[in-house]
Structure 1
C-alpha cells in the first residue's frame, strides 16, 4: 500500500533571491523507460481538501498497482500554505519529485531552473497523442516544456436562463461588445431595479486581453514586455463610461453589499464574463430556484480572430532535482493521460485536458456543457499567451481594484491608467 503524509502547518515564505540561488539545471538526459526492477519512492504534493486527497489516494493506489516498483508518498495543503512550503523547499533545494502546479508560478520556478525539462519525455514516457498542441504549449516557458496541463478552462459568458425568463428577455444572441451593452440595457430596463443585465466588463483584465488578442496584440510578450500602451488601456476603460453612467450595469455599491458573492450568483445580474470552470460554484450559490446556466462565447471584437485560448486549471511539474526523472514522468503521464485518472478525478481538477482522460471521465450535465462549450469555440481558440510574468497576480488585482474605483467614480480613466502603469513599472523592474 502507499503511504500518505498529511502536512498541516504553514511554512514561512522564502525570498525570491533564495529561490534563484536554489536553482539547478532544469535539463535531463533523455530516457524512454525506467528500470522496472528498481524500487523507487516518489514524493507528490498537491493543494486541495480532504475530498481531493481521497481522489489522489485512489489514483495513487491504481498507479501503484500498475507500477508496483514505484511507491508514491503524497501530501497536501491549502493553496496559500502549499506555496509557502514550496518556496521554503525551493530555497533548500528539496522540492517534491512531482507537484500539482499553478500557472501563475510557472515562470518564476522555470526561470530559476527549479523544474525539470519535460521535452525529452514527450512522445515517449509521456504520451502526447491525446494532448492537442495548444494544450502542450501551455506549459512552455522560454522554449522549454516544464509543465503539463491536467485540465483546461476558457473565457466565456454565463447567463441565467430562469432570471431572463422571469424578466421576459431572450438569451444574448451574440455579437459585438456594443451589442452586448444593448442587450444588458434591455435586461436592466425589464428588471425594473431588481435585475441588471450584467456588471461593468471593463473591470476585468481578461476582457482587455481578448480585445488585444483580437487585434493581434497581447498583454505581455515572451520577454515580459507589455504589449499595450497608455492609450490602449485608456481606450479600453473608456468603453465602460457609458454603461456605468446610464445604469446599464449594476452599481458598484450594490456589488459591495453582496460581497463575497458576486451579483451573478446573487441572482441580481443575468450574465457574467468569467472562466468556464466557475459554473459549479455559481449553481451552488444560486440554489434550487435557478437550476441551470447558459454558457456562450463572449462578445466579438474582430470577426474571425482567435482571441480566446485554453488556460490550465492546474498543471503537473517535476522537480529538476528529482533523483528519479523517468519514474516521475511515468507518474505525471498517469495523472494527466490515463482513463483511470479521468474516471477517478472527473472534473475535480477541471475539465480533463487529455482526450484519453476525458474519455474516462463521467461528466455531470454542467461538465458536459463546459466540454461542449470549449468544442464550440474551437475556431476562436488561438495559441495560449506566454506563461504569465512574475508578479502578474498583483497586476491583475490592481486592475480589478482600479475597475472598482472607476465604478465608484473615485478615479478618472486617466488617473487609473497612470496608477496601473506605475504599478506595472514596479513589477516589471523588480
Structure 2
C-alpha cells in the first residue's frame, strides 16, 4: 500500500547554494539496532525524492514491488524539482521533521550530517543494508567524519563528450588523449576546420571540476576533510592563465553561450566537445535532436601520467532522518531501493548507472548507458579514492568559480582580479 503526492514548486533556490539550518533538532547517532524488531510490524514511512513525473512513476513501481515483500510497510512518497526539494528540506530540518528516507545530493551531505540530521547507518551495514554488492570505494563516498550517512544509488565520473557529426564536418579525428595543452591544440584544429560554423570546445578553466582534476593529479584536493584549501593564489592564477588561448578565439565566445542559454554550447552543436559528468549524455543527445544518434565519450586530458585523478561521484544517495521512529524499516527500504534486482530493473539508469552490482546486473542498458558503463571500466586505472565530502558552502564557491569564468571569457575581469575575488569569497565561506 502506498500513495504518491506531487508537491507544487515553491520559490526556487540555486541548486548549489548553501543552506542555513538554524535551530536544528535531532542527533546523528544511530540507536542500537533492535534485535527484537518485528518484520511484520505495521509501519508507515515517508519517502522524498527530486525528479519529474517519469521518475515518480518509477518510484511507484518500486514501492509496489517493495510491498510485495514487505506488505506491512506503507510508503508515502512525495517529489519536487531539485531546487524546491532542498528548500523544503531546509524548512523541515529547522523543525526537526525530515522525511524518514530521502534521496540525497552529495553537495549537501556534509551540511546535514554535521548538523546531526542524518542517521548513522553503521549498525545496519552488512545486515539490513547489504554491502557485498557495493564496492568499498562506493560505500566510502557516503562517509562524513567517519560516519556513514548516505548510500550511493548510482555513480558517474568526469569525462570528455565529443560530437562525431561536427568532428567529421571539421575533418578532425577523435581526441586521442594527451595533456591539457594537447586538448587545447585539438580544439583549435576543430575551430579552424569549421569555417566559422562552430568551435572546438569551451574554456575548460571556467569549471572548478577541471581545476580539481589537475590538483588531484598533483596529490592534492580542492579542500581537505578539515576544510583547508589544497591550492594557493599562485596555483589558481596559473590555471586561469592556461585558458588564455581558448578565450582568444579557440573556444566558443561567451556571447554565443549567452544566446543559446538555458541550453549549453555543446547540446546546441556550437562546440564539438564538452568536459562534464558522464551521465549528462542522454540529455545532450535529446537536446541535439534529429541527426544525432551517438556521442563520443573519452577520458579527459592528463596532468600527470599514472595519477589517480579521476573518481566516482554519486549521482545521488539515499539517507535516513536521524529522527525517524522506524530506523530498521527505513534501512530495509533503502536497501531495496539501492540493491534489489527489482529496483535495478525498474529504474534502469534513470538515477544514473546503478552503484550496486545486483541492481546493475538487472538493469536494461540502452546504448548510451552501456557506453557510460564501458567508459567507467576504461578509466579504472585512473580512478582514485573519492575526495572528502564537499565542504559546507561548496555550492556557493562552485557558482562563484563559474561566474568568474564567464567574466574572464567576456574580458570584463583580469585573471589577477578574478583570483582576488575568488579568495575573498572563499574566506567568507570557510569562516562560516
**TM-score, with normalisation over the residues of structure 2?**
0.96
Confirm whether residue 5 of structure 1 aligns to residue 8 of structure 2: no
Comparing 20-29 with 329-338, greater Cα deviation is found at 20-29
Q: Distance in 2 between matches of 1:229 and 1:12?
A: 34
Aligned to 2:163: 160
Is there any run of 5+ residues in structure 2 with no aligned partner, and where?
Answer: none
Aligned to 2:380: 378
Per the TM alignment, residue 17 of structure 1 is displaced from its structure 2 partner at its CA by: 6.2
Per the TM alignment, residue 166 of structure 1 is displaced from its structure 2 partner at its CA by: 1.5
2:233 corresponds, among 230, 235, 239, to: 230
Q: Distance in 1 between matches of 2:19 and 2:341?
A: 38
Q: Distance in 2 between matches of 1:18 and 1:200?
A: 36
**Quick check: 1:338–1:357 contact (8 Å CA) kept in 2?**
yes
Q: Distance in 2 between matches of 1:11 and 1:195?
A: 37
Q: Please list, as runs of the form range in 1=range in 2, the aligned pairs for 1:150-189 lying within 5 A after superposition.
A: 150-189=153-192
Per the TM alignment, residue 355 of structure 1 is displaced from its structure 2 partner at its CA by: 0.8
Per the TM alignment, residue 20 of structure 1 is displaced from its structure 2 partner at its CA by: 4.8
Q: Distance in 1 between matches of 2:370 and 2:254?
A: 34
CA deviations over 1:247-305 (Å, ceiling 9, x no partner): 11122222222222211111121110001111011101111222210000000000000
Q: Distance in 2 between matches of 1:26 and 1:81?
A: 28
SS in 2 for 1:5: strand
Per the TM alignment, residue 140 of structure 1 is displaced from its structure 2 partner at its CA by: 0.6
Aligned to 1:28: 31
Q: Distance in 1 between matches of 2:205 and 2:20?
A: 36
**Quick check: 2:104–2:319 contact (8 Å CA) kept in 1?**
yes
Q: Please list, as runs of the form range in 1=range in 2, the aligned pairs for 1:315-330 lying within 5 A after superposition.
A: 315-330=317-332
Q: Please list, as runs of the form range in 1=range in 2, the aligned pairs for 1:350-369 lying within 5 A after superposition.
A: 350-369=352-371
Is there any run of 5+ residues in structure 1 with no aligned partner, and where?
Answer: none
CA deviations over 1:160-216 (Å, ceiling 9, x no partner): 111111221111111111111111111111112112111111110000000000000
Q: Distance in 2 between matches of 1:400 and 1:267?
A: 21
Q: Distance in 1 between matches of 2:54 and 2:288?
A: 22
SS in 2 for 1:342: helix
Q: Distance in 2 between matches of 1:222 and 1:390?
A: 11
Comparing 124-133 with 257-266, greater Cα deviation is found at 257-266
Aligned to 2:199: 196
Q: Distance in 1 between matches of 2:412 and 2:9?
A: 41
Q: Distance in 2 between matches of 1:107 and 1:84?
A: 17
**Quick check: 2:205–2:405 contact (8 Å CA) kept in 1?**
yes
SS in 2 for 1:42: strand
Aligned to 2:339: 337
Q: Please list, as runs of the form range in 1=range in 2, the aligned pairs for 1:62-77 lying within 5 A after superposition.
A: 62-77=65-80
Q: Distance in 2 between matches of 1:34 and 1:173?
A: 56
CA RMSD of aligned residues (A): 1.6
Q: Distance in 1 between matches of 2:78 and 2:35?
A: 28
Q: Distance in 2 between matches of 1:243 and 1:277?
A: 25
Confirm whether residue 106 of structure 1 aligns to residue 109 of structure 2: yes
Q: Distance in 2 between matches of 1:33 and 1:75?
A: 30
**TM-score, with normalisation over the residues of structure 1?**
0.96
Per the TM alignment, residue 218 of structure 1 is displaced from its structure 2 partner at its CA by: 0.4
**Quick check: 2:24–2:96 contact (8 Å CA) kept in 1?**
no
**Quick check: 2:12–2:83 contact (8 Å CA) kept in 1?**
no
Structure 1 stretches of 4+ with a deviation exceeding 2 A read 3-13, 15-21, 23-28, 30-34
Q: Distance in 2 between matches of 1:329 and 1:276?
A: 29
Q: Distance in 2 between matches of 1:11 and 1:255?
A: 26
1:395 corresponds, among 397, 402, 417, to: 397
2:269 corresponds, among 243, 267, 270, to: 267
Q: Distance in 1 between matches of 2:370 and 2:24?
A: 45
SS in 1 for 2:274: strand
Q: Please list, as runs of the form range in 1=range in 2, the aligned pairs for 1:227-306 lying within 5 A after superposition.
A: 227-245=230-248, 247-306=249-308
